[in-house]
Chain A
Amino acid sequence: MPRGDRQLVMGNMACMRGAIYAGMRFYAGYPITPSTEIAEGCARELPKLGGHFIQMEDEIGSIGAVIGAAVAGSKAMTATSGPGYSLMQENIGYAYMIEAPCVIVNVQRGGPSTGLPTKVSQSDTMQARWGTHGDYTAITVAPSTVTDTFTETVRAFNLAERFRTPVTILMDEVVGHMQEMVSFPEPGECEVFNRTKPTCVPSSYMAYGPSKTCVNPMPSYGEGYRWFATGLTHDAHGFSTDKPEEVVVELDKLRNKITNYEDEICKVRAEYMDDAEIAIVSYGSVSRTALQVVKLAREAGVKVGFVQLQTVWPFPLKQLRELLAKTAHVIVAELNMGQIVGEVERVALGDTKVHSLLRYDGDIFTPMQFLEKIEEVRS
């Protein structure tokens, strides 16, 4: 799309466009409100680019196909909402284990179960971190505007490729369904990262095992490199092992490849924080209203600051600890019964008091709800 060509674009379509910009050429999914437009967009656009769209029998098949496409060399994505995200969890664990780069979009709606199909929620935040069983470290990003959805989707693919890992994009019904007039970056304007491929002779290739960055090069299946993709804890070649020393090396590696690079992965937007006495921490569509309220409070001379978690997982511990070090009060606003607030409580040291602003009735916070909460904290 040429620059300056403003178009009315839906958040879900911006996700699809961002994915294609990043090089996504394989999509498998099963439609579910409020994510369906992502599948519709992919079905329309991918065939034109020589890519592939498959409507699968369900979400379990969808993520299976995505992982298969990823090891075959594609940049692959699926999109769903809470119920589908739950179904995908077993295979998402498999993707963590075999280190398959892929992107999973969860446009959140109210839960549990089928919940509120058409209403907004952020109640899958913890599921994005701990949804599948076992010890692993997850990467999750959360956009708040249509433009943001495009750039964060590009970033999600870059992180997936860079760290050979599934990445979740946590959207919500409001950011997915809102339409704004936007123009997107031109090709070449945003960085696009492609997975590192092995340069060694196939016989000496190891899919896992020792690596300074903890991320091994990844060949595509069919390129002549042999490696074994198993969900069992494996050794450097991918064969299953239960030798304690090999098990620990493997699990440490899955964690360290992410925790050692948190500075690169964690993205936090902070405004008016230098002298803030009260900070509002938010993510996703909630951040839009939070920023408006912070500006209103500043105009009234009240020192409120704005912190937006663009990376939700790994939790930006270091950045938040620095930002909140001198802040007397923190208000954590989220559309659930209190999920990320627990993480903020862990980073808030000393005298910083953490307050929770919650809503889980299927609608977003109004500016007035924020202002009332700030007043409650001030008194």
Chain B
Amino acid sequence: MSRVSLLEVKIPEDRYEIRLSGSGGQGLVLAAMLLAEAIGADASKSVIQTKSYGPEARGGASKSDVVVSTGEIYYPKALHLDLLLAMTQESLNKYYPDLKAGGTLVIDDTLVSKLPTQDYYGLSFTRIAKEQLKNVMVANVISLGAIAAITNVVGLDALLTAVLARAPRGTEEVNRIAVETGYQEGLALKLKKNPPTN
């Protein structure tokens, strides 16, 4: 047998790995599903979504992974995160070590106060949902809008289409505003963090 050590093998990085994490009841599994649908609408991309949660209906740690690739996806979960959304302090503490160097960290600064790094995007998803949209349930959708603005993983139009396709009747408008609000907030924050150099 040849003596190449397989421990030296580079696992191909043709994957973009996303984790949406927080507490049970924040709608993160649903958000991951919407994100996967929006990304997967592009037929050139493979996408797979998995979830992990405790036995509780609400509370307890909850996360959902979305893996995107232009090739076939085998191992279905996320290992080295390109993007981490943390909607609670507990989830940030737990999953920050899985974020790649140079990966994107997005947090809800309504609920997260202790940051292990200065390199992050902090937006008040829960507060905006409560105060501006009068519906705390759309914090997850606002965060998706922000992700569309901050990263290149999904476009605004594809996201809106995916969200509106799943929105229960009568909630289309609040969901549309949630996506757009998140997108605007995300764009503004991105501009503030990376001001034009010229």
Contacts and interface: CB of A to CB of B under 8 A. Distances in A.
A296 interface: yes
Nearest to A364: B77
Given A8-B40, A300-B6, A303-B1, A180 B48 contact: yes
B155 interface: no
A316 to B, nearest CB: 23
Given A181-B46, A181-B47, A302 B76 contact: no
B75 A288 contact: yes
Given A8-B33, A118-B55, A301 B40 contact: no
A301 B4 contact: yes
Contacts of B59: none
Contacts, number: 83
A117 B57 CA distance: 12
Most chain A Cβ neighbours within 10 Å, of B2, B6, B12, B51: B6
How many A residues touch the partner, as a band? 20 to 34
A368 B7 CA distance: 8
Interface string B22-42: 000000000001001100100
Contacts of B6: 296-297, 300, 302, 371, 374-375, 378
Contacts of B7: 371-372, 375
Interface of B: 1-2, 4-7, 9, 11-12, 33, 36-37, 40, 43, 46-55, 73-77, 79
Interface of A: 6, 8, 33, 117-119, 174, 177-181, 277, 285, 288-289, 291-292, 296-297, 299-303, 364, 366-368, 371-372, 374-375, 378
28 contacts: A8-B33, A8-B36, A8-B37, A8-B49, A33-B55, A118-B54, A119-B52, A174-B76, A177-B51, A179-B33, A179-B36, A179-B50, A181-B40, A181-B46, A291-B74, A296-B6, A296-B11, A297-B6, A301-B4, A303-B1, A364-B76, A367-B11, A371-B6, A371-B7, A371-B9, A375-B7, A378-B1, A378-B6
